[in-house]
Amino acid sequence: MSMYQAVMATPLGRIGIRMTGEAVSELDYLPADTPEQPPNDAATRTVVEQLKAYFHDPRYQFTVPLAPGGTAFQQRAWAVLQAIPPGTVLSYGELAQKLDTAARAIGGACRNNPIPILIPCHRVVGRQGLGGYTGTTTGDPLAIKRWLLRHEGVDVDR
């Protein structure tokens, strides 16, 4: 039995979807050779459909329920991330000001985000550059961040 309720192919590669009840609890970037797995229930099918809609139209607004596990601070930070519209970026410092905390704390919340894309941590950038993505500042995760931002119309070569 798979640990995911679905594995879908996307322009970014395979994404595994983990649910808690009818809410998304994790999205994982998986190796390219991971077999696709159709959704095993209606709630997961809705998540797959909404992700496909986003990959078709970057302005698509997700409505699926989310259930990320995290600290109270992380939950607050992730709620603020969800309010950043597609095609918009904020710096770690700007988000820190909104939450009366430090930029480093925002970076930690982004790094620990279990539901990337749906909780759009890719829309948070460094003051003088792209910043990190999924806890790294080099390699494939940054290619994913660049792709997502370009998909939403953000000039990532600023």
Task: Point out the residues that are catalytic.
Answer: 121
- Kindly list the strands in the beta sheet with 23-30, ordered across the sheet, starting from the edge strand earlier in the chain: 6-10, 13-20, 23-30
Coil, strand or helix: which one is 15?
Answer: strand
Q: Contact 131/124 with Cβ under 8 angstroms?
A: yes
Q: What is the DSSP string of 69-109?
A: ---HHHHHHHHHHHTSPTT--EEHHHHHHHHTS-HHHHHHH
How far lies 17's CA from each of 3, 77, 135, in Å? Answer: 9, 22, 20
Contacts of 89 (CB under 8 A, 6+ apart): 123, 124, 125, 149, 154
Q: Contact 75/81 with Cβ under 8 angstroms?
A: no
